[in-house]
Structure 1
Amino acid sequence: MTTAPDTEQVRGRAADGGPASATAPDDVIRTSGLTKRFRSGQLAVDRLDLTVPRGSVFGFLGPNGSGKTTTIRMLMGLIAPSSGLATVLGAPMPQSVGTVLPRVGALIEGPALYGFLSGRDNLVRFDAADPTSDPRTRARRVAEALDRVGLTAAAGKKARAYSLGMKQRLGLASALLQPRELLVLDEPTNGLDPQGMREIRTLVREVAAEGTTVFLSSHLLDEIEQVCTHAAVMSRGRLVVQGTVAELAGRAQGRLVVRTPDVAKAGEVLSEHRVADLRIGEARLDGLAVVADEETLPGLCAALVAAGVRVHGFGVERGTLEDAFVALTGEGFDVAG
């Protein structure tokens, strides 16, 4: 694997490497030089400059071990940074945990549940521990939270009997017991089947539509691309790039897909055909993926036909977050959704 390049941000740091420009007052999360080095000497987060706009669904993307959870723990005041600054909802962390956390719903590193209590009773206990919650509306809010995550039928079941996916849903329900300004979700679809993943994505969109900023960490590129408006990419503790999802995906070159049963012959012809920046990609069941400028399509088609290659069609695929991540870091990771 290649070493991740120096941080290159769409926003948050000047192109010349100087300090970032003044952050807009409506940024929900902002970090400057945030660093965490553990006693073992491990540098988990290295000089992170992160900006999360209010009202966004912000994807915090990176492979497992890239520093995402350590960053979230610092933002939530669970651990202190070694150096640097972090503000959440305009207040410094961890100094302001008492005033900030009541305005934040969070699910970090999986839910901590009372196994001997039912799902419903777990939520009742969590809500009772929140000094800002209203006991008069507790039963209604618990029922609504259970319904939103699809656990109404299992509400009376002991939490220790829940599957991993059900526990994850219950943790989400605890973060949704009342409206929050910021919802922080660390790998929210962990342990869920494909249908459960789709339901959680829908839920994230609904929460965002209600005005809550969502900060969602994941190692699943497809998940980020489907639900997020903005994203940041982490690699080996460093921020590689951040910006809107459209900006990040736009950094990757698109692919031209040649549909032909003569894949091997097509590859030979295209390799001999001198086109600027032409790169032959992966072979597919129905053809070949080619990285090339769309304007070269007529020439490529003519060359293939002249060589006797049976061409059934062409298609253009836009660049994805996966393409952008690989191009920026030389790494790949789980992209299943």
Structure 2
Amino acid sequence: MEELSTADPDTAVIATRALTKRYRGGQLAVDGLDLTVPAGSVFGFLGPNGSGKTTTIRMLMGLIEPTSGTARVLGQPMPRASRTVLPQVGALIEGPALYGFLSGRDNLLRYDAADPTADPRTRRTRVAAALDRVGLTAAGGKKAKAYSLGMKQRLGLAAALLQPRRLLVLDEPTNGLDPQGMREIRTLVRELASDGTTVFLSSHLLDEIEQVCTHVAVMAQGRLITQGPVADLAAGTRGRLVVTTPDTADAARVLKEQGVGDVVVAETAEGAEGRVTGEAPPPERELAELVGALVEAGIRVRGFGLERASLEDAFVALTGEGFDVAG
């Protein structure tokens, strides 16, 4: 596993050591996971569908027992300390379980009434505030069976927000939401983090992780590939060299002659300005040398630079596979 700079496991909000889950029949869903989630972070748990993310979360929440290894949440062993830990944790895992015959508001009232730590005197006020925070005030009186998938996701998130939490665990929280709803949930996650809540967010959407998370762990086929600050992960991957020129064919030839790999020419109309991209050169190679070679060959260089590597570039570099492949 490639290791980036990580938090101290002794002060981490979540820390696992060799956490493993093997199901009957031999399927290894999670394989020796060492995960460290720093306090105050928005931690993205990233991987294709089927990579072991939800199984890991279910072990962290004490819903299933690990086959071997350990998990500590808020400094306490799970699942042994579930009664102490879970009242401090808000969770939305595998979609919310709702009573379809009850309204959204009444679902939340029932959730809160089942929480022995919840104050019944403030119940209705807190339920109203949670509905407002996820944009469901107008739909609070509608029966949950009439809710769309996105509305059900919002209601599940509202349930996780009925009380202040030290840790919020969200499993694919934007599943079923339209683009506007996704933006609203991302904004809410940022607000919660700014209030001091640690957010553990699982997703298969690279863009989602890159936009809201401070830290990331990458899973593939049950194994942890890497973890650390998002910026460090992308920085560890070389970006792309980009040349803007009307002389795309000649520019591609010169770049190849200069040792640039994976040269790609964007299709353009004849004589129009186009883009030629290639692997970024190693740090010791002066970009000025490449510019000089292009100009010396009579190529009209309109633009030249490096594009920052994205989280997607980093994932493909680490795993060697596209991100739509289920592990």
TM-score, normalization: structure 1?
Answer: 0.89
1:147 match: secondary structure: helix
Aligned residue among 108, 129, 134 for 2:119: 134
Moved over 6 A (4+): none
Q: CA RMSD in A?
A: 1.9
Q: CA 1:34 to 1:11, structure 2 compared with 1: closer, same or farther past 3 Å? A: farther
AA of the residue aligned to 1:288: V
Kindly tell me the number of residue pairs found equivalent between the two proteins: 317
Where do 5+ consecutive residues of structure 1 fail to align? 1-6, 13-21
Counterparts of 1:126-275 in structure 2, within 5 Å, are: 126-274=111-259
Give the stretch that moved more between structures: 202-211 or 313-322.
313-322
Match of 1:28 in 2: 13
Per the alignment, residue 291 of structure 1 pairs with 279
Contact 1:220 1:334 in 2 (8 A): no
Assess, with a 3 A threshold, how the Cα gap between structure 1 residues 282 and 173 changes in structure 2: closer, same or farther: farther
Inter-CA distance 198–98: structure 2 relative to 1 (3 Å threshold): same
CA distance in 1, matches of 2:19, 2:50: 17
Separation of aligned partners in 1, 2:155 and 2:263: 43
Alignment of 1:279 onto 2:261: yes
Cα distance in structure 2, aligned partners of 1:205 and 1:216: 12
Q: Alignment partner of 1:252: what SS?
A: coil
Q: Distance in 1 between matches of 2:264 and 2:204?
A: 23
SS at match of 2:3: coil
Consecutive unaligned residues in structure 2, runs of 5 or more:
268-273
Deviations 1:92-112 (A, max 9, x none): 111111111111000001111
- 1:203-248: CA deviation from partner (whole Å, max 9, x where unpaired): 0010011111100011111111111111111111000111111111
CA shift, 1:11, in A, is 4.8
Aligned residues with identical type, % of pairs: 73
Q: 2:36 & 2:66 partners in 1: Cα distance?
A: 17
Question: Residue deviations 1:143-163, cap 9 Å, x none?
Answer: 111111111111111111111
Report the equivalent of 1:9: 3
1:163-193 deviation per Cα after TM superposition (whole angstroms, max 9, x unaligned): 1111111111110111001000001111111
1:332 paired residue number: 322
Q: Are the equivalent residues in 1 in contact too, given 2:252–2:264 (CA < 8 A)?
A: no
TM-score of the pair, normalised by structure 2: 0.92
Matches within 5 A, 1:96-115: 96-115=81-100
SS of equivalent residue, structure 1 residue 131: coil
Q: 2:286 is paired with a residue of what secondary structure?
A: helix
Q: Over residues 92-150 of structure 1, what are the superposed CA-to-partner deviations in whole Å (9 max), with x where a residue is unaligned?
A: 11111111111100000111111111111111111111111111111111111111111
How far, CA to CA, are the matches of 1:281 and 1:223 in structure 2?
Answer: 29
Would you say the 8 A contact 2:265–2:275 is kept in 1?
yes
SS state of the match for residue 96, structure 2? coil
> Is the CA contact (8 Å cut-off) linking 1:59 and 1:215 kept in structure 2?
yes
Query: Is the 1:262–1:287 Cα contact (8 Å) retained in structure 2?
Result: no
Measured at CA, do residues 265 and 164 of structure 1 come closer, stay the same or move farther in structure 2, by a change above 3 Å? farther
Offset at residue 281 of structure 1 (A): 4.6
**Contact 1:260–1:313 (CA under 8 A) maintained in structure 2:** yes
1:230–1:141 CA distance, 2 compared to 1 (3 A): same
Letter in structure 2 aligned against 1:318: R
Deviates more, 1:75-84 or 1:311-320: 311-320
Q: 2:53 aligns with which of 68, 77, 86?
A: 68
Inter-CA distance 310–173: structure 2 relative to 1 (3 Å threshold): same
Instruction: Quote the Cα distance in structure 2 between the aligned partners of 1:330 and 1:81.
Output: 29
User: Structure 2 vs 1, CA of residues 181 and 270 (structure 1 numbering), >3 Å: closer, same or farther?
Assistant: same
* Match in the other structure for 2:29: 44
**Preserved CA contact (<8 Å) 2:256 2:263:** no
Determine the C-alpha separation between the residues in 2 that align with 1:195 and 1:322: 23
Q: 1:233 to 1:282 in 2, by over 3 A?
A: farther
